[in-house]
Chains A and B, each alone.
Chain A
Amino acid sequence: MRRYSYHKPQTIEDALRLKNEKTGAVYIAGGTDVMVQIKDRELRPSAMISLRNIPDLARIKVNGGARIGALTTIADIIRHPTLGQAFPVLMEAARRIGSVQIRNVATIGGNLCNCSPCADMALPLLVLEAKVRLRGSDTTREVSIEDFFQGPGESCLLADEIMTDILLDRSDENAVAVFMKKGRVQMDLAVASVAALLDMEGDLCRKARIAAGSVAPVPLRLRAVEEKLEGSILSEKMIRKAQELSKNSVSPITDIRSTEDYRRQVVGVFVKRSLEKALTWSQQ
């Protein structure tokens, strides 16, 4: 039966203490994943430790770079007056998550810690080369977002660790930011998604950061594609090459949502369109 005790620590220390005290306890952020897992009986905790009442965990600071508290809701990220301007690719992804009801409670930390290969917030953070701060009872460490994802549903979080912040360096304001997501319907988990940050000089691509979601065990940086693009003119031929390379850089599966072949196709098309968009923008 779905019975558990519910705790609302007011500090990180209290949260960590509770986690260590209570066997079978899980952390809960917005609950949009955890509550469903409990309903489906995938998760049977004996205690729930809510992180929603720790003010430190929900602050956003933008000063060139940004420090986003892990418990910041997706809605608050969208609403923030300056975060979107500084990091448009983050905003694009946030807007495509779920519905209003979901965005009002779902958190960026929760989205990441759920470790789905579809995690919408993972892609912009990958191309922004974000770091996440993890805090345990004895440790505080920073890990690159890329290293955070270990496998489907698997992060590098240790037993009691809480993700406290997402850290972003100053974003390149000249880079073209693109986020593309394909679902079966508009509001959906991604069947395939791509985020790109492209720094252009005319039709020369100076810097490329591209990430793809739902096409590998983890959200993935397409480094081979980035390397190919950096320092190259974005000719039609180059764009086609990048498209093909993208398709070959991912390892999607066939599941009830889509097929391996289709996901591959879509990633290629999204990369192609991201590049075309960057080209158009920079030629203006």
Chain B
Amino acid sequence: MNNFSHIGKKVSRPDGADKAAGRALYIQDLTRPGMLYGKIKFSEFPHARIKNIDTSKAERLPGVKAVITAYNTPEIRIGFLRDNFALKKDKVRQYRDEVAAVAAIDPEIAEEAADQIEVEYEPLPGIFSPEEAMKEGAPLIHEVDPRGRERTNNILPLKFHHESGDLESGKQATKFVVQGQYSTPLVQQSCMGTAGCIAEFDMNNNLTLWAKTQIPFLAQRDFNRALNDMGLRGKNTRIIIPALGGGFGTGLDTHAYEYIAILLAYRTGHPVKILYTRDEEFSYLSPRQSSQTKINQGCDAKGKLTFRSVDVLQDNGAYTSWGATYPSVMMLPATSLYRVSNVYFDAKLVYTNNTYCQAMRGYGNPEHCWALESNMDELAEQAGFDPYEFRLINSNKPNETTPMGLKISTCGLEESLKSVAKKLDWAKKHGKGKQRGVGMASLIHVGGGGRIYRSDASGLILKLDDFGNVNVYHGGVEMGQGLHAVLTLAVAESLGVRPDKVFINPTDTGTCPWDVGTHASRGSFMAGNTAILAAKKLRSQIFRLAEDVFPEEVHKNLKKHKTKNPDYEPPEFDVREAATEERFELKDGFIFLKDAPDEPWLRLELGRFLRTIHFRDQGQMLTAEVFYDPPNERPDFEKGLGNISSTYVFGTQGAEVEVDTETGEVKILRMAAAHDVGKVLDPEGLRGQIYGALAQGIGYALYEELQTKNGKIQNTNFRDYKIPTIQELDFPIDLEFIETNDSFGPFGAKGVAEPGLVPTAPAIANAIYDAVGVRIPDLPITPEKVLSALKNLNKQTEKRRTAK
């Protein structure tokens, strides 16, 4: 099992060369003949009634082909709660609201026209925090629900709840308890390639959308519904995905701008491209949702966790997208990170006039891990345990079921804790103070798909051609994470061909089998498992056919060989007798018999085999298709129960920091990360995923925050929204992959796209505490906050000293 030809070996990703040459084509680079450019006019208030929209000036501008509003287009509801609209009517509920849109012959004219649209508003009082929104008599953000029934408050009708064990008896058995309140801010995914799409109708009114999406098939469903709303019943959407300049969750929902492009394309009869500028991306694309978490956690005298109680309050913003379902993922660490029975979890989501939010890498896990792992350290201190020891005492173990019903198979948590402690020189470095400290934090995440929808499936088609090339059709989305590289390796390995004979076709709903989407770190897991299944089918077909074809063809080989080498004596071997299905093997593109002598004439090149079976009477071409839905279940989120994934990943990250107590600056001296990955499929790709996620984790911990004022995002450029540059990553990162060889995963592998940023922030916060004794419960940990906390600490120490 472990003698892989390609898995685990260093290989260049198939799209690397084109990207290095600047030849990969992103949405930014695509044009279609006759294409127009769309621009959206956004709201100027966080909450207001729309009194009038005057588009006359915009319409008269030369080069403008269409101006649309909710008043001259059919209503299109969007979002899984159907509480959002492509274009807004009657009311705006956030600064981002799309009020009108223009299509023009060039982007500048479109921008000018959008400027010339005059909207008259009657401002309404704005609500900018969930607490405000829940107050008695607070204005309603949505006066009616999607069915037209009157709403009475701003609380979302979504329930995320879990109760297991017996909280009271857990509290009874508790010796030490710590309650804490933690928050995380709005954070921008900050893809280097901004959001955009091109919408184009053919003359049969079927739609093609080149989209920056991670959910091509769910998007197809959404847009087909929109076509229905537009009176185009029965018409179809085809989604084609070009090279993507990053995803990180931005593509997990369909966006108003996409529907608007579709409406403009239909109205004008031309392809329409909408592309966000960086400023628009910051201002108008849904960011990562913020979070407020209250955790109450206790342990007994031996350091064993006795109970955990979690309350989450989410600012949902004005409409609902996947940010609202973060609590479904928060539930995982809340119920299952470390062993704890007696768990209570409850999340409340509230409408406000802030921006609504979508998915971002980790999807609730970084938010919850921030709270949980900070709290763990506080509890450890309270109970008199070293935080590393404390985690070991409570570590999950393989083959356990957690309170949420997660069936843990392999579990590398303990190994990862030990690894990081060793790498950081924990015993020597922890508890020394003097402005230097070490800290760690761990994670649990889904690693074998994640059943948040009714289906968690992916399909795969392998089509062999006359030359031994394998054409792959897969609905997963390559957004930079290296899915196509893993898919190439998995197909090559499981089928038995060289990677350079594997060709991945563009993700296209017209040609690829259905796929629920590339999220929940499921990409490699699904690509790998479907490749293995499809390859198995193909090999079966090949070997069955080879029973007849192989002996004939190798006989020809032998004749040819003998002609060139007349003295050659072939070894004793009855090919025809040996040629049975089970005895064949296919490797590196050659078919041979497993127990045959190793002679070159006894190997049949795959392409030749395929041509032979093709160009004959009743000839055949070989294709295999699979549709794989992994063995997991859709949890009941109101009860907080269900084995959402087929397998789970664990890991630990640790940091050594130095704090400048005069300026509050935190300098990371080094980091260590140990991740349970099941099996390393693509070593460089995996390193890249962890380093990249870790960098995002550092941004989350120290620098990143979308600042809002009355619902308006203030820092809408890279000048004032700081993501880590190469300088901020100027410390050694000691990275280890723990191979637990999970039986559910392809070649033993589990999905690791998200875990890299989950524990980073609490690891750093815990290190800061070790260094200077201050705990910052609200991200990001800015020097301002550290300095302020140090001042308070000094005051308290001073107070205590003078009180004595």
Contacts and interface: CB of A to CB of B under 8 A. Distances in A.
A binds B: yes
Interface of A: 1-2, 40, 182, 184-189, 256-259, 261-262, 265-266, 269, 272
Interface string B620-634: 000000000000000
Contacts of A266: 663
A187 B668 CA distance: 17
B688 interface: no
A259 B784 CA distance: 7
A234 B111 CA distance: 60
Nearest to A182: B663
A280 B728 CA distance: 29
A98 to B, nearest CB: 11
B783 A262 contact: yes
Interface of B: 108-109, 111-112, 279, 662-665, 703, 707, 714-715, 719-720, 722, 724-725, 727-728, 782-784, 787-788
A185 B703 contact: yes
A272 B660 CA distance: 14
A189 B728 contact: no
Contact of A186 (B715, B720, B728): B728
Given A184-B703, A186-B725, A256 B714 contact: yes
Nearest to B665: A182
A256 B715 contact: yes
Contacts of B109: 1
Given A184-B703, A188-B722, A189-B719, A1 B112 contact: yes
A8 to B, nearest CB: 24
Nearest to A263: B784
A186 B667 CA distance: 12
A2 B724 contact: no
A196 to B, nearest CB: 17
A257 B727 CA distance: 19
A187 B784 contact: no
A189 B719 CA distance: 8
A265 B663 contact: yes
A256 B185 CA distance: 14
Given A184-B782, A186-B728, 7 more contacts: A1-B112, A2-B108, A182-B665, A186-B727, A256-B720, A262-B787, A272-B662
B725 A185 contact: yes
Contact of B707 (A186, A188, A256, A269): A256
Contacts of A189: 719
Nearest to A188: B722
B703 A269 contact: no
B720 A257 contact: yes
B663 A185 contact: no
A185 B707 contact: no
Contacts of B715: 256
Contacts of B112: 1
Contact of B727 (A1, A185, A262, A272): A185
A148 to B, nearest CB: 24
Nearest to A257: B720
Q: State the 10 A-B residue pairs at the shortest beta-carbon distance, nearest first.
A: A186-B727, A262-B784, A269-B662, A185-B722, A184-B722, A1-B108, A256-B714, A1-B112, A256-B715, A256-B707
B95 to A, nearest CB: 16
B666 to A, nearest CB: 12
Nearest to B724: A185
Contacts of B725: 185-187
Contacts of B787: 262, 265
A262 B109 CA distance: 44
Contacts of A182: 663, 665, 783
Contacts of B663: 182, 265-266, 269
A259 B791 CA distance: 15
B791 to A, nearest CB: 9
A218 to B, nearest CB: 21
Nearest to B727: A186
B286 to A, nearest CB: 21
B144 to A, nearest CB: 37
A189 B720 CA distance: 9
A182 B719 CA distance: 15
Contacts of A261: 784, 788
Contacts of A188: 722
Select the residue from A184, A188, A257, A266 with max chain B CB neighbours within 10 A: A184
Nearest to A99: B725
Nearest to A187: B725
Contacts of B784: 258-259, 261-262
B728 A185 contact: yes
A269 B664 CA distance: 11
A265 B279 CA distance: 32
A41 to B, nearest CB: 9
A186 B703 CA distance: 11
13 contacts: A1-B111, A1-B112, A182-B665, A184-B703, A184-B722, A184-B782, A185-B725, A188-B722, A256-B707, A256-B714, A258-B784, A262-B787, A265-B663
Contacts of B788: 261
Contacts of A184: 703, 722, 782
Nearest to A254: B784
B724 to A, nearest CB: 7
A257 to B, nearest CB: 7
A1 B116 CA distance: 12
Nearest to B277: A39
A49 to B, nearest CB: 23
Contacts of B728: 185-186
Contacts of B664: 262
Nearest to A270: B663
Contacts of A269: 662-663
Nearest to A192: B663
A18 B725 CA distance: 41
B111 to A, nearest CB: 8
Contacts of B662: 265, 269, 272
A160 B788 CA distance: 47
Contacts of A265: 662-663, 787
Contacts of A185: 703, 722, 724-725, 727-728
B164 to A, nearest CB: 42
A2 B112 CA distance: 10
A142 B300 CA distance: 76
Nearest to B780: A184
Nearest to A259: B784
Select the residue from B109, B662, B725 with max chain A CB neighbours within 10 A: B662
A40 B280 CA distance: 12
A265 B790 CA distance: 13
Contacts of A186: 725, 727-728
A192 to B, nearest CB: 9
A219 B725 CA distance: 27
A269 B663 CA distance: 7
Contacts of B722: 184-185, 188
A265 B788 CA distance: 10
A50 B663 CA distance: 41
A269 B662 CA distance: 7
Contacts of A258: 784
A185 B703 CA distance: 8
Nearest to A265: B787
A159 B299 CA distance: 73
A185 B724 CA distance: 7
A230 to B, nearest CB: 25
